[in-house]
A and B are shown apart, each in its own frame.
Chain A
Amino acid sequence: MLTDGGIVVIDYGLGNPASVKNMLRKAGHQAEVTADHAAIRSASRLILPGVGAFDHGMQNLADRGLIDVLNEAVLVRRVPMLGICLGLQLMSRRSEEGVLPGLGWFAADTIRFAFPPEAHDLRIPHMGWNTVAKTSDTFLAANLAADARFYFVHSYHVRCDERADVALTAPYGGEVVAAAVKGNIAGTQFHPEKSHKFGLALLRSFVEWEPACA
């Protein structure tokens, strides 16, 4: 099922692939940052980072001819894939932030935080270090330290149709999806590449992850 083309961090002009590569190197793994189709087709693991607006992300993927290539790698070849922040949101069907359809790998929509005016302490974006709680047994929770905290920065968040797809949640005016896993597809709303040793451990878990064959 897997080929040994290594870890590819997808470079589609948004977010910080260099930071992800940097943290992977700290974890002892080499990764290639590229949008090259051949590299993605032979990759053994894929990471879709991303910071920015939803439509901008989908448009950039389309402009680089990456949507079909990623669908093939993730849905047909079933390569383990990790989306980060906007990368996770792009895996939903759609977002309130834009009009373009998402990749639709998760039965989920991306919605904006909506808090009542009196909840003045619930600032938007949700920015900073938050704790997470495990909602299902996934590789993401396997090596989670008791005091684990992760860096979040987002104004939109993913809402999954199926509770079973939710892996981790964070408390912010209610339960917010912090990570989702379905088959070989995973995503975190937070930034493991900027979450010190906790993010390092999480990326290590991803590199070692062997998704069960569905």
Chain B
Amino acid sequence: MLRPRAIPCLLLKNGRLVKTIAFDKPQYVGDPINAVRIFNDMEVDEIVVLDIGATPDRSAVRFDLIGEMASECFMPMAYGGGLTSVEQVRRVLGLGVEKVVINSAAGQDLSIVRAVADAFGSQSIVAAVDVRKRMFSGYRPYISGGRQALKIDVTKWVQALELAGAGEILVTSIDRDGTMDGYDLELVRLVTGAVRVPVIAAGGAGSVDDIGAVVARGGASAAAVGSLAVYQGKNRAVLINFPTPAQLKAVLP
């Protein structure tokens, strides 16, 4: 049967591997190429790499680094960060990357999603949706690394992304990012109930049980983990690690 996926989500900034808390306080946690090698040896299901320093309004896409990471990946790799054009996407996919992740560019102009889907197929585009829970307006999608809110609710936004041709949705709870307090199951359920494409849940994974819960109770097709893959123990010692296949098997269907 189709196994729910557990995916290390690696953040890049200035070519270095970092980890954030609530999209803030990036802490240096290592070398990205080395991390990819380790995850490859662990035979993880897939890997997501997001360059948080390369949003459309800032620095350029680091094609060399992406290519180097992809050549170490004998599992699927998704890349996001700073992509604004079909030509950039073509170049990234040509490096050996399976999927591109698009967030801010879609928030500014949804037609990028359709253009990429038409050119390379829906399976090659993951729409990322970063969400904050607000006191009065509920769940709200954000772009530009959590700095700018969109004037649309999450359900409508993910449906628009699906309609535009996104083959997968990566939904991240900004509030839970880096907290290791567990996924926002209510948010994940909202998104998985709204679309037919697979949903990757992110933000909050602190244990293997959280991964099991977001699949069983959130309806997610995949669980992305950040802190859990780069920290170990209560004191958050930096160590690239990942739940073993046996540990995952115990919590996943």
Chain A interfacial positions (CB closer than 8 Å to B):
14, 16, 18-19, 22-23, 26, 51-53, 56, 86, 120-121, 123-131, 149, 151-155, 171-172, 191, 193-197, 199-200
Contact = CB atoms under 8 A, between A and B. Distances in A.
Nearest to A131: B1
B203 interface: no
A126 B2 contact: yes
B218 to A, nearest CB: 12
Contacts, number: 102
B2 A19 contact: no
Number of chain B interface residues as a range: 35 or more
B3 A130 contact: yes
Interface string B97-119: 11000000000000000000011
Contact of B3 (A19, A51, A120, A128): A128
Given A125-B168, A155-B167, 7 more contacts: A14-B120, A16-B96, A16-B97, A19-B96, A51-B123, A130-B2, A152-B2
Contacts of A154: 123
Interface of B: 1-5, 40, 43, 45-46, 70-71, 73-76, 93-98, 118-124, 167-168, 196-198, 219, 221-222
Given A22-B96, A128-B3, A123 B196 contact: yes
Contact of A172 (B2, B4, B95, B219): B2
Given A123-B221, A155-B123, A199-B74, A128 B43 contact: no
B124 A129 contact: no
Contact of A130 (B1, B73, B74, B197): B1
A182 to B, nearest CB: 26
A39 B121 CA distance: 28
Contacts of A196: 40, 43, 74-75
A127 B123 contact: yes
A207 B157 CA distance: 46
A80 B221 CA distance: 36
B76 A123 contact: no
B9 to A, nearest CB: 16
A121 B221 CA distance: 9
A18 B197 contact: no
B123 A26 contact: no
B121 A52 contact: yes
Contact of B167 (A125, A130, A172, A195): A125
A152 B3 CA distance: 11
Contact of A18 (B3, B76, B95): B95
B73 to A, nearest CB: 8
B98 A16 contact: yes
A19 B71 CA distance: 7
B121 A171 contact: no
B94 A153 contact: no
Contact of A51 (B1, B70, B124): B124
B93 A16 contact: yes
B75 A51 contact: no
Contacts of A120: 196, 219
A21 B3 CA distance: 27
Nearest to B93: A16
Contacts of B222: 128
